[in-house]
Chain A
Amino acid sequence: GAGVSQSPSNKVTEKGKDVELRCDPISGHTALYWYRQSLGQGLEFLIYFQGNSAPDKSGLPSDRFSAERTGGSVSTLTIQRTQQEDSAVYLCASSLGSGLETQYFGPGTRLLVL
């Protein structure tokens, strides 16, 4: 079956512009996570959704970052007024339930801020 998909796969933007990154989780998965992976580093938790609500937003680095999820499915991560330090791979993962279950990752969106 279809896995987690993310779009765009690559995004180049200029400093100060806003970007939107999209995640389509596996159908029926209620939990959705966003992580950020900087070059040569491990993954950094950003936000957790259970259904359409986000009970844990503690990893969002600043108020320029926001995310939403609609219909218990698609999620969008928005970065406003992008900075060069925002350059990274943004990964989305989903899991069937809200517990400590297998997270299935998408291929990521590579964001480069010039």
Chain B
Amino acid sequence: GENVEQHPSTLSVQEGDSAVIKCTYSDSASNYFPWYKQELGKGPQLIIDIRSNVGEKKDQRIAVTLNKTAKHFSLHITETQPEDSAVYFCANNAGGTSYGKLTFGQGTILTVHP
């Protein structure tokens, strides 16, 4: 089945620095790549997503890049703030399904130090 590898597992940065999280996948049929943020005791929340017909998407301090040839995609957070501290998950639509059957990475614990 589909496998999504996410790195690093933990990331510690100083406030104002940038943070980058990378994911690789194996299923070439995947065409939807969302990123979720999960705070302690809460369910994941979508922060940005990208589809296979574009290579980059930005939303204020958050950006995602996709390289379909290399089968990897990355999350970039600029000017990090303490409230960005959370667990971040990448995901894709397993088997290229037209519905939201998602395969998730193992997660990255991001800590932003004031």
Contact = CB atoms under 8 A, between A and B. Distances in A.
The reply to whether chain A is a binding partner of chain B is: yes
Interface of A: 4, 31, 33, 35, 40-45, 48, 50, 55-56, 59, 91, 93, 95, 98-108
B106 A41 contact: yes
Contacts of B44: 43, 91, 105
B41 interface: yes
B46 interface: yes
Given A42-B89, A42-B106, A48 B43 contact: no
Contacts of B43: 4, 91, 93, 105-108
Contacts of B46: 102-104
B78 to A, nearest CB: 23
Contacts of A59: 101
Q: How large is the interface on B (under 10, 10 to 19, 20 to 34, 35 or more residues)?
A: 20 to 34
Interface of B: 4, 6, 31-32, 34, 36, 41-46, 49, 51, 89, 91, 93-94, 97-107
Nearest to B46: A102
B31 to A, nearest CB: 8
Nearest to A95: B100
B106 A99 contact: no
B100 A43 contact: no
A68 B17 CA distance: 46
A33 B46 CA distance: 15
